[in-house]
Structure 1
Amino acid sequence: MKKIHTSLLLNKLKNSPLRIFVILAVSLGFLTFSTSAFMTYQNGNRVAMLSDVTFKKGEKISYLVHYGFINAGEAVVKVDDNFHNIDGNSCYKVEVEGKSVGVFGWTTNIDDKWSSYIDRQKHIPRKFHRKIKENKYRKEETVMFDHSGKQASVKYKKRNDKNWKRKEYPIPTNVQDMISGYYFLRRVDYEKLTKNEIIRMDAFFEDSVYDFKVRYIGKEIIKTKIGKKETFVMSPIMPENGLFSGKESIKIWMSADEDRIPLKIRANMFIGGIEVDVTEYEK
């Protein structure tokens, strides 16, 4: 199966206001995926073992996206209070909401809702849904994952479509989506990684499977709205593109405690530096 370089995904997103959430707030995990639960080698590449970190119903994490002192958007990631049955599999439902705020909201009206149904046992997505509202742009999409059959069934509808369009795509076994990868990343056992080690990943988005790489940098203590935290620091390796300055222009800080909270992201973009900071965490 051919894997597509991340630069093509960036090209899809760069002309959309959603890039602030997908590439920044969402980059706290949604663009960083891992595909195995074992300390092993795949195609000559080491794969990180998963830790014992687990997640509970009702977890809620809030973020603020800002350019310096200018607030641009807010994002909330929460786990539903109930389990959901998808094709006979008990799943967590994780919801993500992003919206524009402040001065940025005067010119760009964003109100996006994403959700993923993640298998409680295998930690893989069974269903993915998103409903996009960006100024006049509208799109609704649902993806059903058949991991044993290595197929993703997609149905979608845009603003002026009267009927749903349906397509099917081949996928690797245990591929992640844009949200399930967020939780999978949090379960990687970073204590067993060495500095500058590369984690390789596969992810399905829209109509393609993308090949991602993340470099583990090490540990660092930072101050946040929810207190001073020791963190694991990592950097998605970015291809040359029209959004970011440099291959390692994004840094992500994740708490090194049992909660594994994505706390902060800083991105050096050609339009200037942008940050996403945690504002609230509820178990």
Structure 2
Amino acid sequence: MKKFILVAVLLSAFSGNTFCQEMVDMVTPVFKVGEQLNYKLKYGFFTAAEANLRVEATDRKFDGQPAFHIVADGKTAGAFDVLYKVRNRYETYIDEKTLMPYFYTENRHESSYKHTDNVTFNHDSDKITAAKGVFPFKGKVFDFLSAYYFSRGIDASKLKIGETFDLKYFLDDGVHTLSITYVGKERLKSDLGEFNCLKFNPTIIPGRVFRKDSKLYLWITDDENRIPLKAHVELIVGSISMELTSAKDLKYPLKPISK
């Protein structure tokens, strides 16, 4: 069951890593303080977990610069909450102009398992300090939350079908690379209506959770907001999907084709 919950978390991580073909020095935020996104994670037909992402105001500054405070909460639901209770929180502070991360923290409670980590990004020395040590890095490296919010501001209009690109992110014990392939455009129905979407296929590693031929697909709204509408991945047994259930205080109006 622990592996299942980790997969659900990874879906949220992947959702933010989809537009970074070439990193740019600065992007314009397409979100604002007060934005809230809510998701449900389903195992087959059953709702297994819920997630909330929000942008909060903060007086905290880094190197004298103001920052956005971004928080993500995840918890199990229904029968899954009885079988394997999860209460996870992830937070990041990112520069209001560059959207690069300064500080990331996670607090995970998964049944009897507990884990905390505090990660500091020093962009002057190109070093990341975390619970497991100090890690050098080059170029732009993110935690999964900052990657998501940075990515939303990058122009995706020049992507070609079949094009694959990489994104660097820090997770637990080092800097990793995620490869993503652009699949194309697709209309997708949801609880909030039908939307034009950009579809992506991040690489996953087969193992105890994924089949050798498992595919992970992501659908991102093809509008000014660029928010993940849905994700779907096949497991050795069954499948998991992530679906947007509500979106509040967006910087730009949500524009469904129909509702």
State whether TM-score is above 0.5.
Answer: yes
Instruction: Give me the CA root mean square deviation.
Output: 2.2
Do the aligned partners of 1:33 and 1:201 also contact (CA within 8 Å) in 2? no
Q: Does 1:198 align with 2:164?
A: yes
Describe the SS at the equivalent of 1:187. Answer: coil
5+ residue gaps, structure 1, are 1-13, 39-48, 156-165
Give the counterpart letter for 1:22 in structure 2: V
Do the aligned partners of 2:220 and 2:227 also contact (CA within 8 Å) in 1? yes
- Structure 1 residue 246: deviation in Å? 4.3
The CA deviation string for residues 170-223 of structure 1, in whole angstroms up to 9 with x for no partner, is 122321112111112322322111111112111111121101110011111111
In structure 2, the CA distance between the partners of 1:147 and 1:18, relative to structure 1 (3 Å rule), is farther
* Equivalent of residue 222 in structure 2, options 256, 267, 276: 256
Aligned residue runs from structure 1 range 52-201, under 5 A: 52=28, 54-82=30-58, 84-155=60-131, 167-201=133-167
- Structure 1 residue 239: deviation in Å? 3.0
Output the CA distance in 1 between the equivalents of 2:65 and 2:210: 39
Give the counterpart letter for 1:18 in structure 2: I
- Structure 1 residue 150: deviation in Å? 1.0
Describe the SS at the equivalent of 2:125. Answer: coil
Do the aligned partners of 1:33 and 1:203 also contact (CA within 8 Å) in 2? no
- Structure 1 residue 26: deviation in Å? 3.3
- Structure 1 residue 255: deviation in Å? 0.4
> Percent identity over the alignment?
27
Aligned residues: 249
In structure 2, the CA distance between the partners of 1:93 and 1:51, relative to structure 1 (3 Å rule), is closer
In structure 2, the CA distance between the partners of 1:217 and 1:241, relative to structure 1 (3 Å rule), is same
For residue 19 of structure 1, what is the aligned residue in structure 2?
6
Do the aligned partners of 2:19 and 2:156 also contact (CA within 8 Å) in 1? no
- Structure 1 residue 24: deviation in Å? 2.3
The CA deviation string for residues 113-132 of structure 1, in whole angstroms up to 9 with x for no partner, is 00011112212110000111
Describe the SS at the equivalent of 1:18. Answer: helix
Output the CA distance in 1 between the equivalents of 2:117 and 2:19: 21
* Equivalent of residue 15 in structure 2, options 28, 31, 38: 28
- Structure 1 residue 248: deviation in Å? 6.2
TM-score by length of 2: 0.88
- Structure 1 residue 108: deviation in Å? 0.4
- Structure 1 residue 25: deviation in Å? 3.3
Describe the SS at the equivalent of 2:187. Answer: strand
Task: Give the stretch that moved more between structures: 124-133 or 240-249.
Answer: 240-249
Output the CA distance in 1 between the equivalents of 2:95 and 2:214: 32
- Structure 1 residue 99: deviation in Å? 0.2
Do the aligned partners of 2:27 and 2:99 also contact (CA within 8 Å) in 1? no
- Structure 1 residue 36: deviation in Å? 4.7
Q: Does 1:273 align with 2:247?
A: no
For residue 234 of structure 1, what is the aligned residue in structure 2?
200
For residue 45 of structure 1, what is the aligned residue in structure 2?
none
